[in-house]
A and B are shown apart, each in its own frame.
Chain A
Amino acid sequence: MDLNEEKELVRQAQKAPDAFAKLYDHYYPKIFGYVLRRTVNLEAAQDITSETFVKALRKLWQFRWRNVSFSAWLYKIATNEINQYFRQAEYRKSASLEELQEQGFEPMSPHDPESELVEAQEKLKQYEDFLEVQEKIVQLPAKYQEVITLRFFEQKQIKEIAEILGKREGTIKSLLHRAVEKLREAD
């Protein structure tokens, strides 16, 4: 999806569910993947991804294409939710997600939830190298986890990381340098 196409889709999605569905289909795998790579917890990844899209839907009419792209805006919401997850011993679903569940939303209901989750967990275990590194990354402060994941696992450019985290590019570069250094020390 190129930038102009995305801009047009975001504009339409503020009124049309079909356009929102296209954005959702495009971004769901990216956001779910990002959250999973940060949390390494499938259930948390489901809840956080759900909350991210519920918030995006609610706030979409407020979104204006200024300094932050739609992609960065979504990642920003997801990042905030992830940080909230790490801050709380038990990630509390917000009111918006609970409302959605009251309306009949069950995260895995259409498919066999048990088998889908078990299958996914088995898959996840196969990424041993990643899990080993991630175990060390989660020991770092959140600011370092964010930059490492976005840069190396999400393949984001410095400019986009700066947009997502609302920081200057120079700050991101120095955060990244320090993050790698901290990770090296922990190795």
Chain B
Amino acid sequence: MKHEDLIEKLKNLKTPEIELPGHKQALRVALLNSGHFKQRTVMDWAKILAPITAAVAIIVVMAFFNVIQPQLQIARAKEIARNDPYVQALIEEHELDIAGVQLRDGGVFVLLALPVAETRDQSTPEGLRIFKGVLSLSEEELFSGYILKVDLLEKRVSEFGEIDEVTALKDINLEDIDFVKLEPAETAAPEEADLE
């Protein structure tokens, strides 16, 4: 038989059209009463909620570590610095204020400098102002002052160093700073610390 003839034979072959009404009816009843529809709803929600919950958890964790935790650390560092007796003495003596806080190289650094408003003193030529060892230029908004390293675990200022003429905290090269370690006793007794 030729290929085409076989195709024709297959096309025209009378195929069995048999039904089993008993089986059809029994299976229909069994399927509809099997409880799958109720189970499916619960499973459906579980399947839908599982990835959403996981995604939300990941977003929350990422948000915490990338946004909330750094903000909390910055706020804590500011608070620790403000409450530190040594820093309070510096602020009082030189009329400084916290000009910035930054998380860098695994540490928290606080810049103590003249308030920006103070540096914009128009009374001095070219905005130059020399103020008790702290130099600020209003036009370029340069800061001079101190940089503090805050130990969040011990809740104290652990090191400090002097800085000269930087425009922002991020521009400070930490390797260029001669940090002086502060012992816990020093911060506890600011009157004995050598501020100069």
Contact = CB atoms under 8 A, between A and B. Distances in A.
A115 B136 CA distance: 106
A14 B2 CA distance: 48
B104 interface: no
B43 A111 contact: no
Contacts of B17: 33
Contacts of A98: none
Interface string B9-25: 11101111111111111
A104 B20 contact: no
Given A106-B26, A133-B13, A152-B11, A123 B31 contact: no
A108 B23 contact: yes
Contact of A152 (B13, B41, B44): B13
Interface string A145-157: 0001000110000
B7 A29 contact: no
B156 to A, nearest CB: 58
Interface in A112-154: 112-113, 116-117, 120, 123-124, 127, 129-130, 133, 148, 152-153
Contacts of A107: 22-23, 26-27
A32 B16 contact: no
A15 B21 contact: no
A53 interface: yes
Interface stretch (B32-40, B71-79, B175-183): B32-40
Contact of B10 (A36, A61, A124, A152): A152
A46 interface: yes
Contacts of B30: 100, 103-105
Q: How large is the interface on A (under 10, 10 to 19, 20 to 34, 35 or more residues)?
A: 35 or more
A180 B10 contact: yes
Given A129-B13, A187-B1, A120 B18 contact: yes
Given A123-B16, A184-B1, A105 B32 contact: no
A158 interface: no
Q: How large is the interface on B (under 10, 10 to 19, 20 to 34, 35 or more residues)?
A: 35 or more
Nearest to B24: A28
Contacts of A21: 28, 32
Contact of A113 (B16, B22, B32): B22
Interface in A6-62: 14-17, 20-21, 24-25, 28-29, 32-33, 36-37, 42, 46, 49-50, 53-54, 57-58, 60-61
Determine which residue in B11, B27, B30 has the highest number of CB atoms from chain A within 10 A of its CB, and name it: B27
Contacts of A130: 13-16
A120 B27 CA distance: 18
Contacts of A112: 22
Interface string B138-169: 00000000000000000000000000000000
A24 B16 contact: no
B27 A124 contact: no
Closest 8 CB pairs of A and B: A111-B22, A105-B30, A152-B10, A108-B22, A127-B16, A153-B15, A17-B32, A107-B23
Interface of B: 1-3, 6-7, 9-11, 13-34, 36-37, 40-41, 43-44
25 contacts: A20-B31, A21-B32, A28-B27, A29-B24, A37-B16, A42-B18, A50-B27, A53-B31, A54-B34, A57-B31, A57-B36, A61-B40, A61-B43, A100-B30, A103-B30, A105-B26, A105-B27, A105-B30, A110-B22, A110-B25, A116-B23, A120-B18, A127-B16, A152-B11, A180-B7
